[in-house]
Structure 1
């Protein structure tokens, strides 16, 4: 069940921006602790802002994906396991992002951060698997 190319590439672009800004922020955040230069602090802040903006766009795209892809796939019984995992991973990213932004607990924050980072890097690989399985089944 392929999506229209413009919608599909919008999702790919938004996820790529999230991956790149998230990975870039991770590097800049580590560098700001190692360097006395203010540039890493500014870079980390800019990347985090871009990451948050891309996350908002991605939330809109994921919401649009529900009626045109998720519900149809669920009704047809297509790719249920990998699709359910995509939903679970996406939900986990949204929940951990909420926790990182709004929870002030210093005891829980490192755990939430690591979960968000691990799932954020795992999602693109799982998306590739989801697409592969869906295309293989459609043949």
Structure 2
């Protein structure tokens, strides 16, 4: 169930931006603790702002994917396991992001950070598996019928 190119590439770009800014923020955050340069603090702040903006765009894209991809995939019974894990992992990222931004608890925050980082670094591999399985299934069917508007 292939997505229209504009939605597919927008989704890829948004998730790539999230991954790169999240990984970059992690490096800058480590460096600001061990370096006396203020550049790492500024870099961490800017990366986190871009990460938050990309997260908002990604939420819009996920909302667009629900009717045109998720529900159709669920009804057709295709790629349900990896799709369900994708939905779960994205929901976990959304909940932990909310917790990191809005919860001030010093007890909960470190756990939220670890869960968010783990899910965020695991998502690209799952994303690739989901795409691979979906393309493998669609190549076994008529390629003209597998395109989603």
Task: Measure how far apart 1:78 and its partner are.
Answer: 0.7
Deviations 1:61-108 (A, max 9, x none): 000000000000011111111000000000000000000000011011
**Aligned residue for 1:27?**
27
Query: What SS class does the counterpart of residue 2 from structure 1 fall into?
Result: coil
CA RMSD of aligned residues (A): 0.5
Q: In the alignment, which residue of structure 2 is the partner of 1:82?
A: 82
Moved over 6 A (4+): none
Q: d(CA) in 2 for partners of 1:40 and 1:17?
A: 19
User: Partner residue of 2:129?
Assistant: 129
Tell me how far apart the structure 1 counterparts of residues 80 and 24 of structure 2 sit (CA, whole Å).
Answer: 33
Q: Which has the higher contact order (CA 8 A, sep 6+)?
A: 2
Q: Is the radius of gyration larger for structure 1 or structure 2?
A: 2
Is 1:60 the counterpart of 2:73? The answer is: no
Separation (CA, whole Å) in 2 of partners of 1:99 and 1:23: 19
Alignment of 1:30-41 (within 5 A): 30-41=30-41
Residue aligning to 1:104: 104
Task: In structure 2, list runs of 5 or more residues that go unmatched.
Answer: 141-149
- Per-residue deviation at 1:37? 1.0
Higher helix share: 1
The number of residues matched between the two structures is 139
Shift of residue 40 of structure 1? 0.6
